[in-house]
Amino acid sequence: MISNRITKGINGSANIPGDKSISHRSIIIPSISNGICEINNLLRSEDVFHTLNAFKAMGVKIEDNQHNIIIHGKGLNSLEKPHDEIYLGNSGTSARLLTGLLSGQKFRSVLTGDKSLSKRPMKRIADPLKKMNAKILTNNGTLPIIIESSNLISSNIDLKIPSAQIKSGLLLASLNTEGTTTLKEYKITRDHTETMLESFGANIEIEKLENTKIIKIIGKKELISKNISVPNDLSSSAFFIVSALINKNSHLILKNINNNPTRNGIILALKKMGANISLLNQRSNNNENICDIDVTSSELNGCELGPEFADLMIDEYPILAIAASFANSPSIFKGLNELKVKESDRLKLILLNLQNCGVNCKVKDDDLYIYPTKNFNFINNTIQTDFDHRIAMAFAIMGTKIGPLNIKDSESINTSFPTFIEEFNKLGGQIF
């Protein structure tokens, strides 16, 4: 894929796909609930369809009418033993959430993934599940994972690693566990799982203290299905937002965007940098905050973000680094250790690719320093992505300002935003 410079700005209204995190949960939770769930605006991407196909393989009746997905759930213990290994492609969300859910089922299952997913750490979910008496065997801490049938026991677990995937896996395991399981969270992570479980009638109690969030869930209560309308994805929106900010004569309106306060760090960070962003028509849908976003070209200033921002926007640092490269002053982004264990080592790739584009930047410990320049001197215009969709899209936006950039392995974009190129070019982009 080649991304080239644009000269007339980005203008219009893009069709942003459904939220990826919520889409995964919109398949998982109705599949173990009682009743029929109609899902509108599900993200139709490779990652999400790996989750969908996993539940089909476990006997769940799922209809795809193109306009919506209909799931016929039959309860917590209705899943059937799959005939084969469950292949999850590149989806870390699928792997960690299903590890939790399947640890309490009455059959043996095996989870596998592609080359990239098979390198990602899975002990972080396996170890706390073992405290609940789960029988899980990893491949030296990675996939494939073998999950044996087990009677889980309720537990008190401190979440040492700030991860919505770990928390969600444990919550899903707790649903089918006798007694009360208590999770203590010391840093903010996405709350889509507990939000949806509440709406489906789970016996869940959430207490928010000054520095701690305590979640208590009493297992064995059956869930009742309800229809879901998936809001559009803020993470996917971020690429369009930054493109409008850094390219002159741009104006975008993005509609029905999820503005969940546990993951809106990209908006907060860009506003801190002076971005002209307005949140319009703010409302609630399925207990999620929704808004429309109005964004115009802006003169950005650098900023310093502490580690707490990483909890709110770990997926958005690749595109935020692009914005910072065109600011009027330096930026420092601190505490980015979790970037090293995403779909790729994102911290390494951000540094490598920015430097190849002529940006003066460095990484010290887990902190990223970016020193903007008005004159970009290419070292290499080939962008290494290691099959990471967010690296690919972020540097596609970089190319619209300095292009041309040759984005390697850009097919990875299909894991989260299959229509990215089409939508971007409709607004004035030059990606081929």
392/267 same-domain check? yes
CA–chain centroid gap for 246, Å, is 24
Q: Return per-residue pLDDT of the chain as tens, 432 residues.
A: 999 999 899 999 999 999 999 999 999 999 999 999 999 999 999 999 999 999 999 999 999 998 899 999 999 999 999 999 999 999 999 999 999 999 999 999 999 999 999 999 999 999 999 999 999 999 999 999 999 999 999 999 999 999 999 999 999 999 999 999 999 999 989 999 999 999 999 999 999 998 899 999 999 999 999 999 999 999 999 999 999 999 999 999 999 999 999 999 999 999 999 999 999 999 998 889 999 999 999 999 999 999 999 888 989 999 999 999 999 999 999 999 999 988 889 999 999 999 999 999 999 999 999 999 888 888 999 999 999 999 999 999 999 999 899 999 999 999 999 999 999 999 999 999
247/223 same-domain check? no
Decide: 289 and 261 in contact? Cβ < 8 Å. Answer: yes
Q: Is residue 432 part of a domain?
A: no
50/100 same-domain check? yes
- Residue type, position 133, single letter: N
357/319 same-domain check? yes
Distances (CA, A) of 99 to 27, 165, 264, 338, 377: 15, 10, 27, 20, 46
Distance between CA atoms of 218 and 205, rounded to whole angstroms?
A: 9
Q: DSSP letter string over 175-243?
A: TTSBSEEEEEESS----HHHHHHHHTT--EEEEE-SS-EEEEEESSPPPB---EEPPBPHHHHHHHHHH
Neighbours of 358 (CB within 10 A): 16
Residue that is written with structure tokens 């469950």 in the block: 86
Q: Where among 201, 229, 257 does a domain terminate? A: 229
207/247 same-domain check? no
220/241 same-domain check? no
Q: Where among 229, 263, 297 does a domain terminate? A: 229
Distance between CA atoms of 82 and 6, rounded to whole angstroms?
A: 49
Q: Is residue 10 part of a domain?
A: yes
Q: Is residue 89 part of a domain?
A: yes
Map residue 19 onto helix, strand or coil. Answer: coil
What is the radius of gyration, based on Cα positions, of the chain? 21
Range of the domain at 223: 20-229
319/222 same-domain check? no
Q: Is residue 363 part of a domain?
A: yes
* Phi, psi torsion values for 319, nearest 5 degrees: -75, -30
286/421 same-domain check? yes
Residue of 192, 167, 165, 236 lying closest to 415 (CA atoms): 236
180/202 same-domain check? yes
HSE-up of residue 196 (Cα within 13 Å, Cβ side):
28
What DSSP state is assigned to residue 16?
P
Map residue 87 onto helix, strand or coil. Answer: strand
**Is 19 marked active-site?**
no
Q: Is residue 77 part of a domain?
A: yes
Distance between CA atoms of 241 and 238, rounded to whole angstroms?
A: 5
Does 144 sit behind a cis peptide bond, omega within 30 degrees of 0 on the bond before it? yes
- Residue in 191, 292, 315, 367 annotated catalytic: 315
pTM of the entire structure?
Answer: 0.94
As to burial, measured by CB atoms within 10 angstroms (0-12 exposed, 13-18 middle, 19+ buried), residue 273 is buried
268/361 same-domain check? yes
347/269 same-domain check? yes
The residues pairing with 69 across neighbouring beta strands, listed in sequence order, are 39, 64
For the chain, how many helices (H) and strands (E)?
13, 23
CATH number for the domain harbouring residue 349: 3.65.10.10
- In sign, the C-alpha dihedral spanning 65, 69, 75, 81 is positive
Q: Is residue 386 part of a domain?
A: yes
137/89 same-domain check? yes
Q: Where among 188, 213, 229 does a domain terminate? A: 229
- When divided into structural domains, the chain yields a total of 2
Distance between CA atoms of 195 and 187, rounded to whole angstroms?
A: 17
Q: Is residue 179 part of a domain?
A: yes
Neighbours of 236 (CB within 10 A): 28
Q: Is residue 431 part of a domain?
A: no
